[in-house]
């Protein structure tokens, strides 16, 4: 029995020790897993940050054919393309209107006709016109009678036989008639009728509407039989002898626009014919939400076929532009922005280097990767730029951030570096 008791005690002790050891191992495992999870969390946080620096070995640079160069100041001759529209200045537009309301009796012009200043556009009828002429004819006789009454009252007043108020009344009457005659005379003149030519045999029931300027009929507002008043124009006349061209130029091209530059343009419906214009003013504000600035030009030379409101496409010659340029291959595009790569001493961010992950416990070391990492590398920083004009394989750039004058840039192979940088930013581990 004693032996059996000793055996039971031993079994209990062994079981207790085994349980404690298991718990310790479980605790250690949990701590390790937590650390790994925390590391992964930190790594995931780093993925959100954009990668701007890429590292390449000499072998990679040689294999891809990456070449370096400098930002060069070149004298470019290029053209800027811009859209726009033709416009006639307001002082070259006019409406033919009637000074009196009436019914349109006739229209003597059609849309597109050329008219001279003073030419008859339309005739308008109104019974009021006849009434004004009748009153003008009869007012002379009323003035004669009023003058006779005034003279009589003066004689009576001199003989102390008349009342003073009668003399005053007669004076007021003749003054009123004379004022009315002057008013009628002016109205009849505005109707286009010579007051001295009016008699009972030639009373006119219609008046004419004439063109205030020489130009082309661009719009018709009235038709025969319609009623027009002072505020209702009959036709619109446009003088195309002076045409303006409003170009919409983007902000990046604005520095190359100068007063006096020549603009070659074509109209949308006839691109085979080229017209010319000269810049006379450059706007100082953006047009609506287009982020363009209006450049105002005057059309010179041939204007045949050009009409107010026509849409055009213009080419502006930019000569002798001395500006920083890079080869077209040096520029890459990403998400609507443009970039170049500059050789830098900056190091890539931790976790973004190719092959930079630490070996996990129990994994075999990749000696090939280690040897590759030990090779000398060159680092390239991604710099945003704004593009300008292009010519003969070169493009004008404006860096968003400052770049040293002696900085080396990637002139060939920028696309490969950008692709490698994008992959590094994504942490594609295989």
Q: Above 80 in pLDDT, residue 266?
A: yes
**Mean pLDDT score, 226-251:** 87
Q: Above 90 in pLDDT, residue 250?
A: no
Query: Per CATH, which fold does 79-90+239-321 belong to?
Result: Elongation Factor Tu (Ef-tu); domain 3 (2.40.30)
**Mean pLDDT score, 215-226:** 89
Contact 406, 415 (CB under 8 A): no
Q: Above 60 in pLDDT, residue 46?
A: no
Q: How far apart are CA 307 and CA 399, in angstroms?
A: 42
- Count the Cβ atoms, other than its own, within 10 Å of residue 80: 22
- Confidence category of residue 398, pLDDT binned at 50, 70, 90: confident
Contact 292, 248 (CB under 8 A): yes
Question: Tell me, what's the pLDDT at 302?
Answer: 84
Most confident option among 74-88, 209-223, 313-327, 356-370:
209-223
Burial of 399 (0-12, 13-18, 19+ CB in 10 A): middle
Contact 429, 357 (CB under 8 A): yes
Provide the phi-psi class of 305: left if phi over 0, else alpha when psi is between -120 and 50, else beta: left
* CATH number for the domain formed by residue range(s) 48-76+325-357+367-426: 2.40.420.20
Distances (CA, A) of 6 to 14, 215, 396: 13, 129, 95
- Count the Cβ atoms, other than its own, within 10 Å of residue 55: 21
Length of the chain in residues, anyone? 430
pLDDT tens-digit series, residues 271-280:
888 899 999 9
User: Could you give the 3-state DSSP secondary structure of residue 126?
Assistant: coil
Question: Tell me, what's the pLDDT at 7?
Answer: 43
- Confidence category of residue 37, pLDDT binned at 50, 70, 90: very low
Closest CA to 68 of 410, 404, 379, 343: 410
**Mean pLDDT score, 35-50:** 46
Distances (CA, A) of 58 to 330, 355, 373, 376: 19, 16, 11, 7
* E strand spans, 5-115: 53-57, 67-69, 72-87, 93-96, 102-107, 114-115
Q: How far is CA 245 from its chain centroid?
A: 14
Domain edges within the chain? 48-76+325-357+367-426, 79-90+239-321, 95-235
Contact 73, 309 (CB under 8 A): no
Q: Are strands 311-327 and 332-334 parallel, antiparallel or unpaired?
A: unpaired
Query: Which is more confident, 107 or 426?
Result: 107
Least confident span in 13-17, 130-134, 308-312, 322-326: 13-17
Domains 48-76+325-357+367-426 and 79-90+239-321 belong to one CATH topology: no
pLDDT tens-digit series, residues 13-36:
434 444 444 444 444 444 444 444
Counting residues of the chain whose pLDDT is more than 70, the rounded percentage is 77
Distances (CA, A) of 299 to 91, 171, 256, 269, 366: 16, 64, 20, 18, 72
pTM: predicted TM-score of the whole model, two decimal places? 0.46
Query: Which is more confident, 249 or 363?
Result: 249
Residue tagged 């010659």 (tokens): 317
pLDDT tens-digit series, residues 292-317:
888 999 999 888 878 888 899 888 87
Pull the structure tokens for residue 91. Answer: 């002082």
Q: Above 70 in pLDDT, residue 326?
A: yes
Question: Tell me, what's the pLDDT at 366?
Answer: 52
pLDDT tens-digit series, residues 84-95:
999 888 888 889
* CATH number for the domain formed by residue range(s) 95-235: 2.40.50.100
């Amino acid at each position: 029995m004693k032996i059996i008791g000793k055996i039971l005690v031993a079994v209990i002790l062994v079981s207790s020790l085994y349980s404690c050891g298991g718990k310790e191992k479980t605790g250690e495992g949990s701590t390790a897993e937590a650390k790994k999870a925390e590391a992964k969390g930190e790594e995931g946080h780093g993925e959100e940050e954009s990668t701007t620096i890429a590292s390449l070995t000499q072998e990679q640079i040689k294999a891809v054919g990456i070449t370096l160069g400098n930002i060069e100041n070149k004298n470019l001759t290029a053209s800027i393309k811009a859209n726009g529209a033709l416009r006639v200045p307001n002082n070259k537009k006019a409406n033919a209107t009637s000074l009196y309301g009436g019914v349109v009796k006739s229209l003597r012009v059609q849309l597109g006709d050329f008219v001279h200043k003073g030419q008859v556009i339309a005739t308008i009828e109104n019974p009021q016109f006849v009434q004004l002429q009748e009153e003008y004819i009869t007012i002379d006789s009323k003035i004669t009678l009023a003058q006779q009454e005034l003279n009589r009252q003066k004689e009576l007043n001199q003989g102390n036989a008349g009342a003073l108020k009668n003399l005053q009344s007669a004076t007021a009457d003749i003054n009123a008639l004379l004022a009315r005659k002057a008013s009628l005379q002016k109205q009849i003149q505005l109707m286009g009728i010579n007051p001295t030519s009016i008699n009972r045999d030639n009373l006119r029931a219609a008046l004419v509407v004439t063109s205030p300027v020489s130009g082309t009929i661009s719009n018709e507002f009235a038709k025969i039989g319609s009623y027009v008043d002072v505020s209702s124009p009959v036709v619109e006349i446009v003088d195309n002898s002076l045409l303006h061209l409003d170009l919409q130029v983007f902000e990046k091209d604005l520095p190359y626009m100068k007063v006096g530059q020549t603009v070659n343009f074509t109209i949308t419906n006839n691109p085979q014919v080229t017209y010319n214009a000269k810049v006379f003013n450059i706007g100082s504000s953006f047009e609506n939400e287009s982020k363009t600035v209006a450049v105002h030009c005057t059309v010179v030379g041939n204007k045949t076929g050009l009409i107010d409101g026509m849409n055009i496409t213009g080419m502006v010659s930019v000569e002798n532009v001395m500006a920083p340029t890079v080869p077209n291959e040096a520029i890459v595009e990403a998400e609507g922005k443009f970039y170049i790569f500059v050789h830098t001493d900056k190091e890539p961010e931790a976790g973004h280097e190719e092959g930079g992950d630490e070996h996990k416990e129990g994994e075999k070391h990749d000696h090939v990767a280690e040897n590759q990492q030990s090779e000398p590398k060159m680092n390239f920083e991604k710099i945003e730029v704004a593009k300008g004009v292009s010519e003969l394989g070169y493009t004008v750039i404006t860096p968003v951030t400052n770049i040293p004058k002696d900085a080396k840039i990637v002139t060939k192979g920028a696309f490969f570096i950008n692709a490698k940088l994008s992959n590094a930013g994504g942490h594609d581990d295989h």
